[in-house]
Amino acid sequence: MVFFGQMRSSDTHPFSPARQTLSRELVFVSGKGGVGKTAISQAIALGLSRRGRRVLWVCFEDPARPAGELRRISPTLSHFNCDAGQAFEEYAAMKIGLAPLTRVFLQNKLMRYLAKAAPGIHELVLLGKVWHERANYDQVIVDMPSTGYGLAMFQSAENFRNLFKSGPLARDSEQMLATFGDAAQTGLLIVALPEEMPLQESLELQEFLLKLFPANPSAFLLNRRFPRVTTDAEEAASPPDSWSTPYAASLDDYARKRSILESFNLRAWTDRGLAFAEVPYLPPANGKTFDALVVELADRLEKVLP
């Protein structure tokens, strides 16, 4: 379970990277697995919907929800569990146009095999469905899979564009990539925890996305930042390798050690001059549901949302 506290930003200017990113019609929330992307993306969608915008929050093939389910959460917020099989059928229907021919096409054994086994087609139709749905809402917020699979989804569009050169798949892939690479239309938000692996992986993700979309740099959000209780001087005098005791002597000792460690880890970002929004750590409360935590997080996002 991921918990959140009051949100602040290292760059609070109205045109900060995070705020600019969240103002776009299509926002992909990415990062290493376990960093809180689902809660962050859901809270962003909820917060934006409170502003009267028609918002769609998307996840991909969540096994806990019916495949292809479109659920209305409020008059301005809907949730869609995007399913590749359903998306492929809808795509075929749009391209063929005639219902009888579409049925013949989808019932063909070879087509059914290709829909499941063709490299990259699964990822392409999922992204294509999201790309298509953006026309029906003011904003679409996407909870991306963990880093590796999320990158494979974006790469699938480039692969199909390069592989086919012409035809509907190539044209649609080209248009999708143009949308994703346009900073006026698409926002790329990378979420990480103040831990070494998620921070390093976020930088690798940024580099890959910049290769795909050089004109659309990613914004960064740090999740679960523990309250900083130490000064720069204290952290410089007490680097993490100077205290290897596995147990803290007191709550104050624990807070100090964690503050030092997280500040040390964050040098992966701060040494590069990265601007990022922060979601501080909120201790768990007994009986609080995940949905309640998302609502609380959305409240704290108010100052960052456009």
**Amino acid of residue 170:** A
Rounded to two decimals, the pTM is: 0.88
* Beta-carbon count within 10 A of 145 CB: 18
* pLDDT-wise least confident of 145-154, 184-193, 239-248: 239-248
Helix (H) or strand (E) segment spanning residue 93: helix 84-96
Q: In whole angstroms, give the CA distance from residue 83 to residue 205.
A: 25
Looking at residue 76, its pLDDT comes to 98
Inter-CA distances, 65 with 9, 70, 126, 142, Å: 33, 10, 16, 16
Q: In whole angstroms, give the CA distance from residue 255 to residue 95.
A: 58
Q: In whole angstroms, give the CA distance from residue 80 to residue 90.
A: 15
Please give the average per-residue pLDDT across 13-23, as a whole number: 77
pLDDT band at 235, cuts 50/70/90?
Answer: confident
Q: In the chain, what are the domain boundaries? A: 16-81+131-300
Average pLDDT, the chain: 84
Q: Which of 249, 306, 259, 265 is nearest to 280 (CA)?
A: 259
Looking at residue 262, its pLDDT comes to 92
Would the pLDDT of 167 be above 80?
no
Would the pLDDT of 113 be above 60?
no
Would the pLDDT of 38 be above 90?
yes
pLDDT band at 274, cuts 50/70/90?
Answer: very high
Which residues, in sequence order, are CB contacts of 267 under 8 Å at separation 6+?
none
| Assigned token pair, 9 | 């930003």
pLDDT band at 96, cuts 50/70/90?
Answer: low
Query: pLDDT higher for 281 or 61?
Result: 61
Looking at residue 268, its pLDDT comes to 95
Which residues, in sequence order, are CB contacts of 72 under 8 Å at separation 6+?
78
Looking at residue 82, its pLDDT comes to 96
* Residue 160: alpha-carbon gap to chain centroid: 23
Query: pLDDT higher for 240 or 184?
Result: 184
* pLDDT-wise least confident of 101-115, 118-132, 164-178, 282-296: 101-115
Q: Which parts of 181-250 fold into alpha helices (H)?
A: 196-212, 232-237
Looking at residue 105, its pLDDT comes to 42
Q: In whole angstroms, give the CA distance from residue 125 to residue 88.
A: 6
CATH superfamily of 16-81+131-300: P-loop containing nucleotide triphosphate hydrolases (3.40.50.300)
* Beta-carbon count within 10 A of 272 CB: 9
Looking at residue 220, its pLDDT comes to 96
Looking at residue 11, its pLDDT comes to 42
Looking at residue 27, its pLDDT comes to 98
